[in-house]
Amino acid sequence: MSGNVRIIAAIIRKDLAVLWPLAAIVVLLPVLRSDVVLQNLRNENVLAATIGVSVLATMLLIVAVVHQDASASLRDDWLTRPIPRWTMVTAKLVFLAAVVCVPAMAINFVLALADGRSVGEAVMRATSVSHGTLGAILAVVAFAAVTSTLLEAVGALVALMIAALVAQAVPGYVLPEGMAILIAGGEWLSFAPAIYLPIVIAAPVLWLQYGRRRTVVARAIVAGACAVALVPVLTPPAAMFDVLRLLTPATEAGRTAGVALAPGCFPRVATETESGDISDNARRLWHDHQRASVGPHAIAFSTTVAPTGVPGGWKAMIGFAQAFFVDASGRLLHRLQGAHAVLGRPDGVDASVSATHFWLASRTAYEDAQRQSARLRLKYFVSLLEPTALGEIAVDGRRQYISGFGYCSTELDASAGPVSIDCFMRGRRPALVTARWSGETAARETMTRPDYTPAALELLSGAPYRLTLPRLRSGTAPRVTLTAYEARAHVERSVDAPGLLGGPSCSAAYTSTGNTNGEQP
Amino acid sequence: MIIETEGLSKTFRRHDAVCHVSLSVPKGAVYALVGENGAGKTTTLRMLVNILTPDRGSARVLGVDSRRLARREFLRLGYVSENQTLPDRLTVAQYFQYLRSLYPNWDRPLEAELLARFALPHDRPLGKLSHGMRMKAMLAGALSFRPELLILDEPLSGLDPLVRDEVLEGLLHQAEDTTVLISSHELSEIEGAATHMAFMDRGRLLFEEPVETVRSRFREITATVGTDSGDIAGGLPASWLAADRSRNTFRCVETAFVSDADVLQKLILHVGAVGNVDVRPMTLREIAKSLMRAMRTERSQ
């Protein structure tokens, strides 16, 4: 055994001798977290506790194993022992890989086989790297590396959590829209700094801390990364959408596509009572703080929009919408509160047809807008998706690999409930997958939640996805057609609606060039 | 020189913990670094073993720049500090098993001998050892690979006299061929073994000399003086420390002793007529104490 390998083995043996109870818990936790066990845990509290303990124990183990030979310390025994510093780093990483990663992989492999997956799929599932998990592990490693005691590390983590909470309380942070960008495919962008910064800074921090013993600089980098990770929390969703646009070069479709106010029952107007209470529906649509911010006698109404100029077969997903009262020169007068229930798009809604949004305007804003002969401006953030792959799967329960979709199977429910399509894909995944019964129109399809993560960030990761289709009336054994889509453009479109609340009647379609006839509630 | 520093300096938040320290430790020496708590001894030693990086100046240890000390040097260098953090949950046996695998030059019979000499309980976790036992364990861990250089930071601090003797005996017994750099604010224990002595105060090295030179130039002087002798406050030789006159007795520490006649001459010149004069050699401990007292007085003034 070479010198370094012998030293690594000695350090790991020593750490195991000290930390084996915690290591044993962490090794066994993947079993508890596995789908098989979780599906049998009907109690949500037990489930949450299991996951909580799992995360806590893993974090504790990481901190403990790094602090066994703390580098930020001035007193640790190992600092004056014949241990090359990179050998120490390697020993700690090998320990963590052996205790945290390898058992999880092995258990995932075994559980996948036990669940009837093929060896190929089981290997793919077991070797898929969750970037979020990797980022979290490396973040804790970095925290542990620049601290010398558990108290210091916990203190730093608590400070970070408080900072995150405080950041969310900053005026101007708009929760419903923030949620919208998460749900509308930009989730990766919101979490990218938190996930990828630890991956990026881990090596430099370890190099500075172990190789150069520059604790202050290493701590500054960790603190800076924490601050940057909080940026998406403070960034307005419109700005996030701009980043998405920058990352996706616009295609011709991006230039021709637009939106138009759709015909139909439009607008609807609701008025609050004197006490500030509004109907149960409105209560569900807006958060308490939104309702509180508009005060009594607020006005609720809806707008419906449909995409235009979208190439055949493409999809237009409305990420989120904003509504304003603007004056004749286009100057913003008031911003309206969007309802979270619609801004947060539920799975399976086809935005290619239309999307309805609900708005809440304070009485003061409304009256002020009236005085200034203002109009309603609606702004939509639209993603255009092109179909890139087509696949078909028989509803026979058989697991099979479908190019472009990964390993898929349909679950046959004897109780005549909906049929679910369960897939797992490693590496680059489509931004959106839809499913419909072969031969049926697109109107009856269901879809996954859009995810515009760049392909480069999906290389080593794998993820399951599930689609549910209502069962066909006929008893034949049908087939399901899957379609994969990729985002080709993210565009922002504005529509000036007629009147302050959208228009005088339910019969006309109003486009962005429409007039501005007002309407009294 | 096995250790040589030049202008070694370290600043913590504008506080000069170590300021331009230049010291030389010859091979084979037992070098005592003396000074009060906060004098900068620990910081100096931490820079020597590359736990801290100097802000200015340089240090060569075992012929290598201290900032570049690596595995090869640490195989030849033992370090023990009173506030060293050990893997407390390991038993003594596990700790030594761990250490063994780090050192190809580990001397197992010597380890066994030291463990037996110090009566260390093999199966007790390090965290449950008394302070004295921990120091013994650390010392055994630092001696068992027969280092060329042993750096000890206050190794005897807080030990009861019996344990202190045991530790010291074990250290001196095994460290015959080893250069020892020991920091302490209490010197009586290594009085007989120290070959060199350096004194630090407020981050500065005031002197470093062979112990024999130190011993030869320090004398405690007690003289009987006439009651009509003048005030002693001003005009005393710079080599006199802690000059004090109470009634007809004058006391001071001569730091540049040449001869009794020279002392007498100075006394007559600076104190006036003197009667009985007692010129007594001092122990290292007494020398260190008088230096510390003098520095404290200087600071308070």
CATH number at residue B167: 3.40.50.300
Q: Identify the architecture of domain A386-487 in CATH.
A: Sandwich (2.60)
B296 within domain boundaries: no
Query: Does residue B71 sit at the A interface (CB-CB below 8 Å)?
Result: yes
C-beta atoms of A18 and B84 within 8 A: no
B300 within domain boundaries: no
User: What are B240's two structure tokens?
Assistant: 């006199």
Average pLDDT over residues A101-114: 88
- At B82-98, the pLDDT tens digits run 889 999 999 999 999 99
The answer on B232 and B192 residing in a single domain is no
How far apart CA B95 and CA B141 sit, in angstroms, is 9
Cα-based torsion angle of the residue sequence B60, B62, B66, B69 in order, rounded to the nearest 10 degrees = 160
The shortest C-alpha distance from A221 to chain B (Å) reads 20
C-beta atoms of A79 and B49 within 8 A: yes
How far apart CA B20 and CA B190 sit, in angstroms, is 27
Share the mean pLDDT of chain A.
79
Exposure b/e, A428-441, CB count within 10 A at least 16 = b: ebbbbbbbbbeeee
State the ipTM, two decimals: 0.87
How far apart CA A68 and CA A12 sit, in angstroms, is 11
B276 within domain boundaries: yes
Residues of chain A in contact with residue B70, where contact means CB-CB under 8 angstroms, are: 84
**Maximum mean pLDDT: which of A11-15, A426-430, B251-255:** A11-15
Which of B185, B211, B237 is at the close of a domain? B211
The answer on B170 and B32 residing in a single domain is yes
The answer on B271 and B242 residing in a single domain is yes
The answer on B112 and B63 residing in a single domain is yes
* pLDDT given at position A473: 64
On the question of pLDDT at A85 being above 60, the answer is yes
* pLDDT given at position B64: 95
The shortest C-alpha distance from B230 to chain A (Å) reads 54
The answer on B206 and B224 residing in a single domain is no
Average pLDDT over residues A186-207: 90
Query: Does residue A444 sit at the B interface (CB-CB below 8 Å)?
Result: no
Share the mean pLDDT of chain B.
87
Query: Does residue A76 sit at the B interface (CB-CB below 8 Å)?
Result: yes
On the question of pLDDT at B66 being above 90, the answer is yes
Amino acid at site B73: E
Task: Quote the domain boundaries for residue B56.
Answer: 3-211
Query: Does residue B84 sit at the A interface (CB-CB below 8 Å)?
Result: yes
Q: Using CB atoms, pick whichever of A10, A76, A82 lies closest to residue B98.
A: A10
The answer on B223 and B107 residing in a single domain is no
The answer on B201 and B242 residing in a single domain is no
Q: Domains in chain B: how many in total?
A: 2
The shortest C-alpha distance from A100 to chain B (Å) reads 22
- At B166-215, the pLDDT tens digits run 777 777 777 677 899 999 876 777 777 888 989 888 899 988 989 889 88
pLDDT category at A231 given cuts 50, 70, 90 is confident
B263 within domain boundaries: yes
On the question of pLDDT at A510 being above 50, the answer is no
pLDDT category at A284 given cuts 50, 70, 90 is low
Q: Using CB atoms, pick whichever of A9, A75, A81 lies closest to residue B85.
A: A75
The answer on B171 and B43 residing in a single domain is yes
CA distances to A30, A40, A51, B18 from A34, rounded to whole Å, are: 6, 10, 10, 57
C-beta atoms of A14 and B87 within 8 A: yes
The answer on B182 and B37 residing in a single domain is yes
User: pTM for the whole thing?
Assistant: 0.81
CATH number of A249-383+490-497: 2.60.40
* pLDDT given at position A280: 58
> By the 8 A CB rule, do A378 and A398 touch?
no
pLDDT category at A265 given cuts 50, 70, 90 is very low
User: What are A54's two structure tokens?
Assistant: 């799992």
Average pLDDT over residues A32-54: 69
* pLDDT given at position A389: 93
Which of B188, B211, B234 is at the close of a domain? B211
The answer on B195 and B247 residing in a single domain is no
> By the 8 A CB rule, do A495 and A259 touch?
yes
The shortest C-alpha distance from B134 to chain A (Å) reads 12
| Residue, of A100 and A475, whose pLDDT is higher | A100
C-beta atoms of A74 and B51 within 8 A: yes
Residues of chain A in contact with residue B102, where contact means CB-CB under 8 angstroms, are: 7, 10, 81-83
How far apart CA A246 and CA A342 sit, in angstroms, is 26
Q: Identify from A1, A11, A74 which residue to disrupt to test chain B contact, counting B C-beta atoms within 10 A and taking the largest count.
A: A74
**CB < 8 Å from B in window 184-243 of A:** 213
Lowest mean pLDDT among A184-188, A372-376, B176-180, B246-250: A184-188
How long, in residues, is chain A? Answer: 521
The answer on B271 and B169 residing in a single domain is no
Average pLDDT over residues A153-166: 80
Query: Does residue A90 sit at the B interface (CB-CB below 8 Å)?
Result: no
Where are the domain boundaries for CATH 2.60.40 in chain A? Answer: 249-383+490-497, 386-487
Find the closest chain B residue to A215 by CA distance.
B52
Find the closest chain A residue to B89 by CA distance.
A18
Exposure b/e, A353-363, CB count within 10 A at least 16 = b: ebbbbbbbbbb
The answer on B203 and B238 residing in a single domain is no
* pLDDT given at position A164: 73
CA distances to B252, B262, B275 from B226, rounded to whole Å, are: 16, 20, 8
Number of Cα atoms under 13 Å in the Cβ half of residue B286? 15
- At B246-258, the pLDDT tens digits run 878 888 888 888 8
B85 within domain boundaries: yes
